Amino acid sequence: MSDHVDGPRSIGDPTADLTDLFAFTSPENPARTVLAACVFPSAGEDAIFSNVIDHSIAVRPVTVAGVGNAAKFVPGSEEIRFSFRFEVLKRDAAGKAIQRGVCKLPDGRELVLTVNDENGASTPEGDVRVFAGLRSDPFYLAWTFAELKKVPNLLQHDNVLVMVVDFDTRRVLDPAKGSLFGAIAETVPLPQPPGRIGHPVARIDWIGRPEQTNIRLNNPGVPGDDIRDLWNQQTPFNIAKELQPMFLRRLTDSFRNYDMRDGKPDWTPEALAANANVFLDDFLLFDVAKPITDQSHLEIEKSTISGRSYQTGGGRTVDANVIDILVTWLVNHDREFLQGGATQATKPGMKVFPYFATPNMELQTVAGSVELAAAPEAVWSVIGQFNLEWHPAVARVRLTGTGIGQLRALGTIDGREIVERLEEIDSAKRWYRYALVAGVPASRYTGTIDVKPNGSGSIADWRVDFLASKQPDIVVRDMVSTLINTGLGSLKLRFGAAR
């Protein structure tokens, strides 16, 4: 899913995991260009940027060095780089915890910014404006790629940390020398003091075009080792020559596999090789002299491979449907557009700075109920004790304290440890409320269990509200749904279903 969780190293350090890269014309001013990069997939509401990583967006001029089956894009050596570094949390004058950072501009100037300040920070001349903070994840993935099956957006309600650079195109890029550029973003560990044990890491992650690692290099239909970490350690704009044949072979095999996903070959071997060669040089192409729209993503590459002049600025807007554009190109050579199971991200982008939608802070709810043959008192005598020993997924329970504030540490049959605290209980009304302490990747997590009369029987209700953190909402939702449905289902077996 784009560059989210694209390899063991990124999974191990999500704060350094680059998820997406964007290059587009400012909706507010056509004379300005916007570059943006996202990190920290499924970021929680209190997520902050790492203070030991240099987050950079780099741009180089690019020339078209071949067309058709000889298509080639060659980056120049001159580099325009924006680097973000962030501090540890500090408290402002009001005692609120805040994070500040610095964006170093290509000419050496520095902009001090406060994370999550929507106004961002600007140079006195106004030629550059930057933002960093938590936003709604602009990416959406609505396919499963093992069988190319349509599904709902797998990243619905997720958030990421975003860095945005908005600048005067003429002053920063000088397009009079050439209007075609390639962009990458990378996360590089800051230099460590001498004497540390271990080998320094050149970089943790980098990204050019979306889906280089998770779809093109890690195609589930192509056997082979997971080479995503190896790719992420390469130097952008300069893939190691000794490794290029291996990466090229994987790309070619992957493209051949995608071509046959609909059972029809749409690519010649020569055209497949041309695609592999173009995508091996991984940078996000954009032309500031041509229109960049929601539909123009990959148009530069596709037109050049097809032997014709490109007509748009390529790039990638906040709302670009990059997955379906890519899937359609790979599977059927743009013969018929392939639409996944979603048509937009959780929230569309904004037309004003900082362009990325506000974070998803609305609590999500999972609820269930079961009608039982037993009287409310009988059901409450089992489930109203807060120990959850009646639940078939609970292998062991350890209680600490009594009454309000009591803790229950649940050991589940799949090895998970969940700690919850009793917040409120009313035995007369057969109802209690609890809050999560640890064990589920969520914040603001509260649950209620209650039993009501229902004719000669009863109804047991279980509801949980939460905000996913460090895992996609869909993962947390599935976890909670399984817990609720399994528990309520066991009550039906114990007490019988209402007739």
User: Considering the domain boundaries, does residue 337 fall inside one?
Assistant: no
Which domain-ending residue is among 275, 308, 332? Answer: 332
| Confidence at residue 199, expressed as pLDDT on a 0 to 100 scale | 73
DSSP for 204-215? SEEESSTTIIII
User: Considering the domain boundaries, does residue 341 fall inside one?
Assistant: no
Closest CA to 409 of 423, 394, 424, 425: 394
Q: 303 with 419, same domain? A: no
- Residues near 139 by beta carbon (within 8 Å), at least 6 away in sequence: 1, 2, 4, 19, 20, 38, 155, 210, 322, 345
Q: 371 with 320, same domain? A: no
| Confidence at residue 1, expressed as pLDDT on a 0 to 100 scale | 56
CA distance 435 to 439: 11
Q: Cis bond leading into 354, ω under 30°?
A: yes
Q: 386 with 247, same domain? A: no
For residue 295, give the amino acid letter.
Answer: Q
Q: 306 with 387, same domain? A: no
CATH number, position 422: 3.30.530.20
User: Considering the domain boundaries, does residue 310 fall inside one?
Assistant: yes
The C-alpha torsion from 185 through 34 and 279 to 11, rounded to 10°, is 40
Q: 195 with 305, same domain? A: yes
Q: Where are the alpha helices (DSSP H) in 156-313?
A: 169-173, 228-232, 244-259, 269-280, 299-305
Q: 100 with 220, same domain? A: yes
User: Considering the domain boundaries, does residue 62 fall inside one?
Assistant: yes
Q: 78 with 191, same domain? A: yes
Q: 321 with 397, same domain? A: no
Burial of 217 (0-12, 13-18, 19+ CB in 10 A): buried
Beta bridge partners of 397: 410
User: Considering the domain boundaries, does residue 47 fall inside one?
Assistant: yes
Q: 303 with 410, same domain? A: no
Number of domains composing the chain: 2
Q: 325 with 374, same domain? A: no
Q: Count of alpha carbons within 13 Å of 425, Cβ hemisphere only?
A: 14
- pLDDT tens for the chain, residues 1 to 499: 578 999 988 888 999 999 999 999 999 999 999 999 999 999 999 999 999 999 999 999 999 999 999 999 999 999 999 999 999 999 988 889 999 999 999 999 999 999 999 999 999 999 999 999 999 999 999 999 888 999 999 999 999 999 999 999 999 999 999 999 999 999 999 987 776 677 778 899 999 999 999 999 999 999 999 999 999 999 999 999 999 999 999 999 999 999 999 999 999 999 999 999 999 999 999 999 999 999 999 999 999 999 999 999 999 999 999 999 999 999 999 999 999 999 999 999 999 999 999 999 999 999 999 999 999 999 999 999 999 999 999 999 999 999 999 999 999 999 999 999 999 999 999 999 999 999 999 999 999 999 999 999 999 999 999 999 999 999 999 999 999 999 999 999 999 999 8
Closest CA to 418 of 386, 388, 434, 440: 440
| Confidence at residue 200, expressed as pLDDT on a 0 to 100 scale | 76
User: Whole-prediction pTM value?
Assistant: 0.94
Q: 54 with 181, same domain? A: yes
Q: Residue 258 in contact with residue 219, Cβ under 8 Å?
A: yes
- Residues near 270 by beta carbon (within 8 Å), at least 6 away in sequence: 69
Query: In which domain, by residue range, is 166 found?
Result: 8-332
User: Considering the domain boundaries, does residue 413 fall inside one?
Assistant: yes
Give the count of beta carbons closer than 10 Å to the beta carbon of residue 20.
26
Closest CA to 462 of 473, 470, 451, 472: 451
- Tokens, residue 73: 């894009």
Burial of 112 (0-12, 13-18, 19+ CB in 10 A): exposed
Which domain-ending residue is among 315, 332, 349? Answer: 332
Q: Residue 237 in contact with residue 184, Cβ under 8 Å?
A: yes
Q: 414 with 265, same domain? A: no
- Tokens, residue 335: 């013969």
| Confidence at residue 220, expressed as pLDDT on a 0 to 100 scale | 93
User: Considering the domain boundaries, does residue 473 fall inside one?
Assistant: yes
User: Considering the domain boundaries, does residue 343 fall inside one?
Assistant: no
Q: Under DSSP, is residue 103 helix (H, G, I), strand (E, B) or coil?
A: strand
